[in-house]
Amino acid sequence: MNTKVGWLKWFGRFWLIWLAAGSFCHAQDAGTSPLLLWYSQPAAEWVEALPVGNGRLGAMVFGEVVKERIQLNENSLWGGHKINPNNPEALAALPEVRRLIFEGKNSEVTALIDAKMMGTPKTIESYQTLGDLHLETPAAENAQDYRRQLDLDTGIVQVHYKIGEAIYTREIFVTAVDQVIVVRWTCDRPEGIHFTATLTRPENGSVKAIAADSLALEGQTGPEGMKFQARLKVLAEGGAVSTDGQLLKVEKANAVTILIAGATNYVKWHKIEGDPAVLCENYIAQAMQKDYARLKEDHVKDYQSIFHRVSMDLGKSDKDHLPTDARLKAFQTDASDPVLIALYFQFGRYLLLSSSRPGGLPANLQGLWNEHIQAPWDSDYHLNINIQMNYWPAEVCNLSECHLPLVDLTESLVEPGRETAKIHYGCRGWVAHHITDIWGFTVPADGACYGFWPMGSAWLCQHLYEHYLFTQDIDYLRQRAYPVMKEAARFLLDDLVEVPEGIRMAGRLVTNPSYSPENSFRMADGTNGFFTYGSTMDLMIIHDLFTNCLEAAAVLAPDAGFDAEFRGELQSALDRLAPLQISEKTGRLQEWMEDYDEVEPGHRHMSHFFGLHPGRQISLTTTPELAQALKKSLEFRLASGGGQTGWSRAWIVSFYARLCEGDKALENLTALLQKSTLPNLFDTHPPFQIDGNFGGIAGIAEMLLQSHLGEIHLLPALPAAWPTGSVRGLKARGGFQVDLFWKEGKLDRAVIYASRDGLCKVRYGQKVTQFPTTAGSNYTLQENIE
């Protein structure tokens, strides 16, 4: 017997081996997998450029030889400023809205909500570009041997080309350690580097030389808006550096390092102070204390300490010789390329790591990267699925600390959300609707048919609890998550109303007005409606939050006396909450309390499936009838043309994973890459929207590992197209980390790493085992093949 083996015990058809000397964070061979996005030409447009970022600063690298463009972002650079958008007329209109809905006069409600109950103003301002760095090289035509690549193993973009006999290389990365964008330009011939540089911005910015080797771009987004600066510093090895107006010129250098800093006068949360020029000066000064080799070394060490936690092998491919854009094109007609899917998975992890770091702002609709002053959908925080989808992979894909900016944002909304709850609804607790920004916007916006949806706060709270479930950090649960969850639940307890006598579900508790995000229904009289009572998604989100609060309270104090009154209110409300409805006509799970027909049967939002994913109210094992009804609804939605946007198709992958249908999950993952993925592997709605990237990789993880039902489910939705493979470093709820290895479509072995003492319950197919765990130990489960 191996000396590391402490004991061996038979559990059903599993061998369970306890290894006393196990390493918890071990997947350091992640870099051995193909982790390159590479191209044989520069980017022709922004959606072909390659992203780099450190959570706060971002850049899109085009890789042009003659006229290079590197587009810049700083994630706090938003239009607008802090305001009070609450509408004092809203509360007075609420009783009339409820009366009209319960009387079936739904069509009259939308205009009343739009006139009386929306925020003032009804919209927010956009996240904005910081600007562009332009590098122009004279006499650089006829480049040969061109290659542009993003190495996910290091987080570095490289551009290689040859002019004559001279070989040029650029390296670009954004260091979280030193908080600057770094561009390194070398040539294998002496005095081979010549270029001019400048900074530009579409509006509200001006550039000037501030030293012989430095430029600054500065401005303000509006009269009361945010101040910002981007600063460029050139460190040349040999040659000459000079400035002329808005241009910086480098001649006959042997190598050049360009440092770019960016900053605003925004300070989390909701405060304006500080001087961006001073901040940029300090960032540059700090970075200049290191040479290029040290800057790069520190960046790679920091980046790999997080990225290397997970590795994935889904099989081999005969397309490794193709550039990424050609490979993606080949995937349109031949999807037998598991290496591309594994690359897509790791690229998604890279994007989250690069756009969301502890202490910073969360990833928005475009993550970090945006070239516009007025971005599509303001590149804001959409709370009716999009920002939540951004963070579905955070915990399971071993990027837990990247989840914290969303926790911070949620906490920041509590104070303004209390005012909105009181002024708009006359309720205690706090509320947020379908959009927010960095200024604490919590009121309904964008018009009644999109924005009157007071469930954003409750859905955000799911993420607070998920972070606890994965980390088992009870201090975090006590001090941060539970108080916010409790106040969000308090709002819903106050907002729920009893259905009057003579109406379907009389005596039950429902939301009113209620709305299934962005979808509409057809009433019996032929009119279309948006608002009703007790929409399915509302009921599911309420069930999720109330259940999570009860569980959290039990964890914090097993004694039933802790928060006893509040817990009693939650349980009473759950008992009286209107049940989910299955259509007697179709056998499908209804999207609304009444069995309405959809105006758009193939709608992109699939809100009434929340209870399957990301919720846990519906499953094959606990609620089989509801699961089958939901599956029928899903099939109908797809047959009617659903899933045409990137993020919508990504969500479907997780639905089928939770239904344990691996081939259907892969079919939709394939459609995501074929129809909704851009040449640089960005997701497209269209246009570009990053949530589909994050939803897609969360779906891949769900296919391989699930833990939402109190057990670790191994390979729940493994497709036939991935017969042999492995994944290392995924996380499971309960404080576990999991490695999985499979052959010929069956589990070969699993290694489970425990971060705490306790019990671990594991499922593989119909086989279930449970065993005690010790913190710091690992456990190998191997299928017994007789």
What pTM value is reported for the model?
0.95
Instruction: Indicate whether 111 pLDDT > 90.
Output: yes
CA nearest to 631, candidates 612, 646, 616, 603: 612
Residue predicted with more confidence, 6 or 553: 553
Q: Is the separation of the CB atoms in 234 and 258 below 8 Å?
A: yes
pLDDT recorded at residue 273: 66
Q: How far apart are CA 680 and CA 668, in angstroms?
A: 20
3-state SS of 374-416 is: CCHHHHCEECCCHHHHHCHHHHHCCCHHHHHHHHHHHHHCHHH
User: What residues are paired with 163 via a beta bridge?
Assistant: 166
Q: Closest by alpha carbon to 399, among 96, 730, 643, 692? A: 730
- The partner residues of 51 in beta bridges, in order of sequence, read 60
For the segment 1-12, the average pLDDT, to the nearest whole number, is 31
Bridge partners, 333 (sequence order): none
- Give the pLDDT confidence score for residue 560 in this predicted structure: 67
Residue 573 identity (one-letter amino acid): A
Q: What is the structure's pLDDT at 526?
A: 87
Q: pLDDT tens digits, residue range 65-94?
A: 999 999 999 999 999 999 999 999 999 999
Dihedral sign computed on CA atoms, order 635, 640, 643, 648? negative
CB atoms inside a 10 Å sphere around CB 768: 14
Q: What is the pLDDT of residue 508?
A: 98
pLDDT for residue 149: 97
Check whether 8 has a pLDDT greater than 50: no
Q: Burial-class residue 573 by CB neighbours within 10 Å (0-12, 13-18, 19+).
A: middle
Give dist(CA 196, CA 245) in Å, integer: 12
* Overall residue count recorded for the chain in this entry: 786
Indicate if the pLDDT at residue 23 is higher than 60.
no
pLDDT band, residue 10 (cuts 50/70/90): very low
- Provide the mean pLDDT of the chain: 93
Q: How confident is the model at residue 524 (pLDDT cuts 50, 70, 90)?
A: confident
Task: For 164-202, give one letter per residue: b (16+ CB within 10 A) or e.
Answer: eeebbebbbbbbbbbbbbbbbbbbeeeebbbbbbbbebe
What pLDDT does 99 receive?
97
Question: Which amino acid would we find at residue 696?
Answer: G
List, for residues 446-499, the tens digit of each pLDDT value.
Answer: 999 999 999 999 999 999 999 999 999 999 999 999 999 999 999 999 999 999
Distance CA 53, CA 74 (A): 10
The per-residue pLDDT for 458 is 98
294: Cβ contacts below 8 Å, ≥ 6 apart:
none
Give me the pLDDT at residue 784, please: 54
pLDDT at residue number 271? 56
Number of Cβ atoms within 10 Å of the Cβ of 98 = 17
The whole-angstrom separation of Cα 390 and Cα 402 is 11
Taking every pair of Cα atoms in the chain, the longest distance, rounded to a whole number of angstroms, is 88
Say whether pLDDT at 272 is over 70: no
Predicted pLDDT of residue 257: 98
Averaged pLDDT for residues 387-409: 98
Q: Is 80 exceeded by the pLDDT of residue 179?
A: yes
Q: Cα angle at 570 between 568 and 572, to 5 degrees?
A: 65
pLDDT digits (tens, 9 = 90+) for 124-135: 999 999 999 999
Q: How far is it, in rounded angstroms, from Cα 465 to Cα 133?
A: 41
Token code pair at residue 629: 């009804």
**pLDDT (tens digit per residue) in 562-590:** 899 999 999 999 999 999 999 999 999 99
Residue 219 amino acid letter: G
In terms of DSSP H, where are the helices of 557-640? 564-576, 624-639
6-15, 437-446, 514-523, 732-741: the lowest-pLDDT one:
6-15
- Could you give the percent of the chain with pLDDT greater than 70? 95
Which residues face 67 on adjacent strands? 136
**What phi, psi does 276 have (nearest 5°)?**
-60, -30
Asked whether residue 11 carries a pLDDT value surpassing 70, the answer given is no
| CB-CB contact of 611 with 617 (8 Å) | yes
Residue 624: partners with Cβ closer than 8 Å, 6 or more residues away = none
pLDDT bracket for residue 267 (50, 70, 90)? confident
Residue 138 has pLDDT above 90, yes or no: no
Backbone phi, then psi, for 211, in 5-degree steps?
-170, 170
| pLDDT reading at 269 higher than 90 | no
Distances in Å between the Cα of 698 and the Cα atoms of 234, 382, 574, 613, 650 are 41, 18, 29, 11, 8
Q: Please give the Cα distance from 541 to 535 (Å, whole number).
A: 10
Mean pLDDT across 637-659: 96
Alpha-carbon 263 to chain mean position: 23
Higher pLDDT, 100 or 10: 100
